[in-house]
Amino acid sequence: EAGVAQSPRYKIIEKRQSVAFWCNPISGHATLYWYQQILGQGPKLLIQFQNNGVVDDSQLPKDRFSAERLKGVDSTLKIQPAKLEDSAVYLCASSPLEGLYEQYFGPGTRLTVT
């Protein structure tokens, strides 16, 4: 089966600019996750969707980050305006359902904010 797809793979922007990341989960997977991984740290969950509803966005900086999952399939994560500390790898993952099911990760988008 095809894996989780993400684009772009790399992005360099200046602070205060906006950026958007796209994720296409594995077909049929109901749950989609966005993680932020800062250099030297483990991934940190930003937001979790179950179909097109938000399950957990407690760690999403909502003043500048937003995410949506229209039609319960693809998802976009947006940062507006970006700050230097947003430089990180943004990982998308999906799983058939929430719970014990394994999460399958995409290749990530490496964001550099200058």
Calculate ∠ Cα 72-78-82, nearest 5°.
165
Q: Per CB under 8 A, does 102 bind other proteins?
A: yes
x/- track of binding to other proteins for residues 58-77 (CB under 8 A) = --------------------
x/- track of binding to other proteins for residues 2-41 (CB under 8 A) = -xx----------------------------x------xx
User: Each residue of 64-73: b (16+ CB within 10 Å) or e?
Assistant: ebbbebeeee
101 Rama sector, left if φ>0, alpha if ψ -120 to 50, beta otherwise: beta
Footprint on this chain of other proteins (rule: CB under 8 A): 3-4, 33, 40-45, 48, 55-56, 91, 93, 98, 100, 102-108
